[in-house]
Amino acid sequence: MADMTGSTTTSAAWTALVRHRDDGIAPLGKLLADDPGRATRLGIEVGDLWIDPSRQQVTDTTLALLADLADELSVAASFQRMMDGQPVNATEGIPALHTALRAPGHEVIRVGGVDVVPAIHATLDRMSDLATSIRDGSRTGATGEPITAVVSLGIGGSHLGPALAAEALSHLAQADLTVRFSSNLDGADLVEALDGLEPASTLIVVCSKSFTTVETLTAAQSARAWLAGGLGVDRAAEHVVAVTASPERSEAFGIPAELTFELPQWVGGRFSLPSAVGLAVMVAIGPPAFMELLAGMRLVDEHVATAPTLRNGPVLLGLIDVWNRSLLGRTSMAVVPYAHRLKLLPAYLQQLSMESLGKGTTLDGLAVDTSTGAVVWGSAGTDGQHAFFQLLHQGTDVVPCDLIGVARTAADPRGAHQNLLLANLAAQAAALTHGRTRAEVAAGGTPPDLVPHRTFAGNRPSTTILLPELTPSVLGQLLATYEHRTVTAATVWGIDPFDQWGVELGKELASRIAADPDGGDHDGSTIELLRRYRELRGT
């Protein structure tokens, strides 16, 4: 996205950052002790979010140099080009205009000379009409029964965002409606999604941008067969709608135009939640709440476009990601939401970050000259503490963490659980920061031979993100923050965050193997695997 005259690592700011790193950064415990107001000073409010990077191993000098890097590599200008609809997805020659999906109706955003906003709002209106008719019981199926269940089929970006949003906002769900998602090619996933439902009252939503995605189309064929088994072939067609950028393919599949919701070609899957891909979410939480979700995303879009670098939450987080990955050599990042309803967030961010930043080639077609995208992983808070926090505290790798807390929840109005959750979040952040010295361990009466085992090095970085509560707007703000954070890092590295060519090779080979398992060009390991598979299946 950036208009760069040289590589990232030859920029003056990068050279200064390397020199600054090599001079040494004080441990986190000292940074906090020497600056008691550090969290107040460095914390940033982005809409309703409070983002606190004070436990990252950065000084004021670090941040100033990162801001210089952003200026030198034209991060702000790159965001403007993206939001203006310029073809920033360079390898495909198209815009990456997901921000237009949450633009107000009066805004004008042109692609190829055509204002795209009216079509976006027309699609939102069609989605709202369908969602409202399902929610009020007026939408009936082929037999006249109301639609009371929606099953959304999709994979990757057509699944992770909607599934996360529906789970996170499940407290807003309508009790007499069932909304489920299926993504896995394993048939057990679809069987589970359809379990207990009746074809006469079920609507299937097929989400596939290209309408060639093997996993989704296989599930769609099986779901249609399930519908036909209960309704007959002709009637089953009334119970399937499509979300796609290729309506001609969905029509060839048997889904007419009036049951197809068009997805703009310039929307990448991992950025597509606010598009028609979110149809099942709109059914689950209602059109007004879905529009609040979009408004929350829009709020962050405006923040990114206007806030100065060091007070720009998503941009600062992206710059710190570059610092951790490329200059400090941190190979992974853990995302730990202390909120049960955000338990799908790590999986969502895995795709958003790793599909966007897992690139080894610059926009100029050259090999990158520094490390890019970290491995993203994690789980819900206290579950994670009893699974992988041992490695975070005493492992040989230093893993930066995002610790995400929620202040209020309808599930716990008195705060009995929430108070403990936030105490755990705060305790883990402090323990990662300060650790425990040998002297402290010994002073507690620990036998000398056990002291090394109970010592914690500390100096493990983390960022805290605090949400007031999980409303649609707040969720939208959180997701848009991570979107723009990801684009920031990509801009600095000079890579395209909007393509995913690395996904294609495996898909191509899978199609070739499925079509011709005995093909002569398979390697020996593949041939032996397929032989044993056929033997086990008796085929």
215 is a catalytic site residue: no
355 is a catalytic site residue: yes
* CATH for the 98-290 domain, from 3.40.50.10490, 3.40.50.720, 3.60.15.10, 3.40.50.1820: 3.40.50.10490
With a cut of 70, which residues of the chain have pLDDT below it? Answer: 1-6
* Amino acid sitting at position 130: L
pTM of the predicted protein model: 0.97
- Give the pLDDT of residue 7: 75
Domain ranges of the chain: 36-57+307-358+371-433+455-489, 98-290, 502-537
Catalytic residue among 167, 215, 292, 355: 355
- Give the pLDDT of residue 56: 98
- Give the pLDDT of residue 521: 87
- CATH architecture entry for 36-57+307-358+371-433+455-489: 3-Layer(aba) Sandwich (3.40)
* 453: CB partners within 8 A, 6+ apart: none
- Give the pLDDT of residue 397: 97
20 is a catalytic site residue: no
- Give the pLDDT of residue 3: 43
- Give the pLDDT of residue 4: 41
- Measured between alpha carbons, how far is 38 from 53 in angstroms, rounded to an integer? 9
Closest CA to 266 of 110, 112, 98: 98
Query: CA–CA distance from 202 to each of 32, 189, 281, 288 (Å)?
Result: 56, 17, 15, 23
Closest CA to 373 of 501, 497, 503: 497
- Measured between alpha carbons, how far is 381 from 157 in angstroms, rounded to an integer? 24
- Measured between alpha carbons, how far is 73 from 76 in angstroms, rounded to an integer? 9
Sheet of 260-262: strands edge to edge? 178-182, 149-153, 202-207, 240-244, 260-262
Catalytic residue among 258, 386, 453, 535: 386
Question: Dihedrals φ, ψ of 443, to 5°?
Answer: -65, -20
The pairing of strands 240-244 and 178-182 is unpaired
Catalytic residue among 30, 171, 417, 507: 507
Sheet of 332-338: strands edge to edge? 44-46, 49-52, 462-469, 401-408, 332-338, 375-378
What are residue 332's DSSP bridge partners? 375
- Give the pLDDT of residue 519: 77
According to DSSP H, which parts of 155-213 are helical? 160-168, 187-194
Query: Quick one: CA torsion of 507, 513, 515, 517, rounded to 10 degrees?
Result: -170
